[in-house]
Amino acid sequence: MIKDTFKPVKLKLTELKRYIAAFLETLQERSPETRGTYERSLKAFVNFFVQDRHFFFRVRDVERYREFLKTQRKLKEATVATYLTALRRFCQFLVAEGVLEKNPAARVAGGRRPQHHHRMYLQLSEIQQLLESIDQTTEIGLRDRAIIQLMLGCACSEREIMYANIGDLQRRGRKWILYVQGKGRTVKDEVVPVPPAAVEAVQRYLEKRRQYEELDEDSPMFVSYSNRSQRQRMTIRGIREAISERLRQSGIKQDRKRLVTPFSIRHTAGILLAESGIPVEEFMQRMRIKWRPTAMQYYRLAGVLRSEQYPELQTMVKVEQ
């Protein structure tokens, strides 16, 4: 146990709830998903606070909470880490408010982050098989290929693709960039370089759409073709279902239904980037990864794709310098 030099602070339940509500108010600029994660995590803390009855914001109290999450709640390490991050940020808020002198949760490590990825990457022969299976004479086919190439060339997530507008893809000299709204954000404040192959795929799709509708910079980059949401912005669920169906139709999923997902394409993009030999700092920027150890997981996998045997696919992640 870490030596405890923290002055105990006793809060009533009503006071604790009031401070939590005030803390959540400070998160208004964060995405609804992020606020929801903090709210759920702190709700679990409140339940422990009531049950424990001796939580006085000391290091040993936080350690006891961590053990409760592990042994009583039987939560996974990553979930424990999320809950403790929420408590750590809340305690820092209490320090700023003058309620605590120091942050006891800052002295307690969360659950261990996973040392390997749980999702399956695709072999480059499978990426080739996937792309070749798509009929590019149809608008839906052009759409799905463009989405896949953004996932591969820019490591775009379903969320980033959903929020993308036509005007977010811009040319800067010889380079193309895409403004994206990343996880936990409410604005498009991250810039991602776009390989020429992905730009070409998006432009071919948009040229097809312009035959049937007027488009401007604020138009969604990708639209649905279902009866219920014809030509409306695609949802995350719609993107996931469309790409999952392409993976199934191409014969890649087979008996790996739960392991091969649209995220597998982004995961493959990360390994392909690592194999390209770019510096880890550039890798983190292109993948929107903030935690260096997560980036290093991809470098440990470098070589498994044997990308030197697929020069045409290597070009899908190369950007203009």
Q: For 242-288, give the DSSP string.
A: HHHHHHHHTT--TT-TTT--HHHHHHHHHHHHHHTT--HHHHHHHHT
Looking only at the bridges linking them, the beta strands covering 175-180 and 190-193 are antiparallel
Structure tokens at 133: 């299976």
Quick one: pLDDT at residue 188? 87
Beta bridge pairs of residue 171: 176
What parts of the chain have a pLDDT lower than 50? Answer: 1-2, 114-118
Ranges for all domains in the chain classified under CATH 1.10.150.130 = 13-107
Give the C-alpha separation, 78 to 113, whole Å.
6
Quick one: pLDDT at residue 115? 47
Residues in the chain: 321
Predicted TM-score (pTM) of the model is 0.68
Beta bridge pairs of residue 220: 165
Backbone angles phi, psi at 212, to 5 degrees: -120, -15
Contact between residue 45 and residue 65 where contact means Cβ atoms under 8 Å apart: yes
Contact between residue 195 and residue 318 where contact means Cβ atoms under 8 Å apart: yes
Contact between residue 108 and residue 244 where contact means Cβ atoms under 8 Å apart: no
Looking only at the bridges linking them, the beta strands covering 175-180 and 169-172 are antiparallel
Q: Which long-range contacts (CB under 8 A, 24 or more apart) does 133-140 make?
A: 133/246, 133/249, 133/250, 133/251, 134/246, 136/204, 139/205, 139/208, 139/209, 139/212, 139/225, 140/225
What is the amino acid identity at position 117? H
Quick one: pLDDT at residue 118? 46
Q: CB 213: neighbour CB atoms within 10 A?
A: 9
> What CATH number does the domain located at 13-107 have?
1.10.150.130
Backbone angles phi, psi at 228, to 5 degrees: -80, -25
Domain 124-314: which topology?
Answer: hpI Integrase; Chain A (1.10.443)
Using the CB atoms, write b or e for 139-150: b if 16+ within 10 Å: eebbbbbbbbbb
Ranges for all domains in the chain classified under CATH 1.10.443.10 = 124-314
Contact between residue 263 and residue 160 where contact means Cβ atoms under 8 Å apart: no
20-70 pLDDT tens trace = 999 999 987 777 878 889 999 999 999 999 999 999 999 999 999 999 999
Question: For the chain, what is the radius of gyration of the CA atoms?
Answer: 23
Quick one: pLDDT at residue 198? 95
220 burial via Cβ count (<10 Å: 0-12, 13-18, 19+):
middle
Quick one: pLDDT at residue 312? 86
Quick one: pLDDT at residue 187? 81
Give the C-alpha separation, 296 to 270, whole Å.
10
Give the C-alpha separation, 180 to 160, whole Å.
6
Sign, Cα dihedral of 26, 31, 35, 37: negative
Beta bridge pairs of residue 165: 220
Give the C-alpha separation, 168 to 204, whole Å.
16
Quick one: pLDDT at residue 27? 87
